[in-house]
Amino acid sequence: MAVIGFDSIVLNRPIVEMPTVPEGISPSVFKPTEVGSRGYELVFKAMVGASIRIEDEDKFRFSYEKALSNALTKFRIPQKKVIYKAAHLAKQSLHNVPDVASDILGQLGPTIDRIDIYCAYYNQPYVSVFGEAAGQRLLPIVFIERNQNAFPHVCAWKYLMQYPQDAHPVFQLDHFTSKVTPAWRVLEKSDAKLQVFFSGGECNPLIAASDLVLRLIELFQHGTVDGRSLLSPIEDHVQPLRDKLRFHNLGGRGEDQHHTAPVVNLDVDLTNYVKKPTYYIVWNPRGDRTTLKPAFEWGAFYNAIIAEAARTKGCVKHFDPEVDALRWSPSQDFVSPFSKEDRAYLNQIKNLGHDIPAIFRPRVT
């Protein structure tokens, strides 16, 4: 059975227009003033997605574990996580991240059937949205900014259209948010099995590998954004994958754009597609949560929960009291309170009449 993992990014490319050096002035001494002759910046944005197709999920997981361990050992980087999203790998490997990512993907080559790259940008005055209600016209860059988090499901729809021979595929998507689109309606009615992962790049190796592909594209793509320039970073840095690459342009005005643009201003409900078990981390520190969160997510407690989610093929989410008590499954999911105070907080929620999932608290030293 085909299993396909999806992830996406926004490719942000500034276009800098430099001021002209006045005639008779040496460029080595010319400095533009703040008014009048300074340079300005235009911004180009495109939604870019990647998917990796495999046949044997367990074999791929084993290969990923081995490839990650080998690459980190080779570059003398201590392994702190069982699965690395690209941002975490960059934090640890710094300037070595292209070589580490390429090494991992190269080792995974024998288990990968195909890598598909998707891109959407809009060379037109506006993009129409909410056509089934009070329609709107958005500037292309505004449309991308508002809908960038939805792109994984659009890529999954495009895959479905391009490869109808894949019967009953399993689509593993990094968590996304979206208004209702024609693409979503097609996916819901299709024979594809949709699995959505909170923190997918940290607990699902297929999504993590797709994230590494996107990081190489983000680092090394240059020139006109098209199929050639988007595939070349992978062709140049991971040669074993050269013959497994495909490109899909979703930026045209036809069916691709029609299926990408939301048709009604209602949020897609992913409740029935979020992968189980989901581990809800309950962590309410006394200090500034925002400044503490990066250190917390490198800590032993958090990494142990991620490891358990990876082992059980689940996913991980920081608990949100506004929505999670309504959507979690007390019989399938787990809650992971960090402290005694966090456990007492859960008891308060229980006393309000909510069923609480079983507690999973890892043993950490």
What residues contact 100, with CB distance under 8 A and at least 6 apart? Answer: 71, 72, 75, 77, 89, 93
Residue 364: how many other CB atoms lie within 10 Å: 11
Could you identify the residue written with the tokens 């975490």? 88
Instruction: State residue 365's pLDDT score.
Output: 62
Give the model's pLDDT for residue 42.
72
The dihedrals phi and psi of 110, each to the nearest 5 degrees, come to -60, -25
Separation CA 202–CA 286 (nearest Å): 26
Give CA–CA dist 166/74, Å, rounded: 37
Go through 161-190 and write b for each residue having 16 or more CB atoms within 10 A of its CB, e for each that does not: eeeeebeebbbbbbbbebbbbbbbebbeeb
- pLDDT given for residue 38 in this prediction: 52
For 2, list phi and psi in degrees, rounded to 5: -70, 135
Task: Give the pLDDT score at 40.
Answer: 55
Q: Distance between CA atoms of 191 and 226, rounded to whole angstroms? A: 31
Domain map of the chain by residue range?
3-11+45-272, 276-359
Nearest to 280 by CA among 331, 334, 330: 334
Low-confidence ranges of the chain (pLDDT < 70): 16-18, 32-41, 365
How confident is the model at residue 21, as a pLDDT? 82
Burial (Cβ within 10 Å: 0-12, 13-18, ≥19) of residue 141: middle
**Annotation: CATH topology of 3-11+45-272:** Nucleotidyltransferase; domain 5 (3.30.420)
The interaxial angle of helices 182-189 and 151-162, nearest 10 deg, is 60
CB 76 within 8 A of CB 191: no
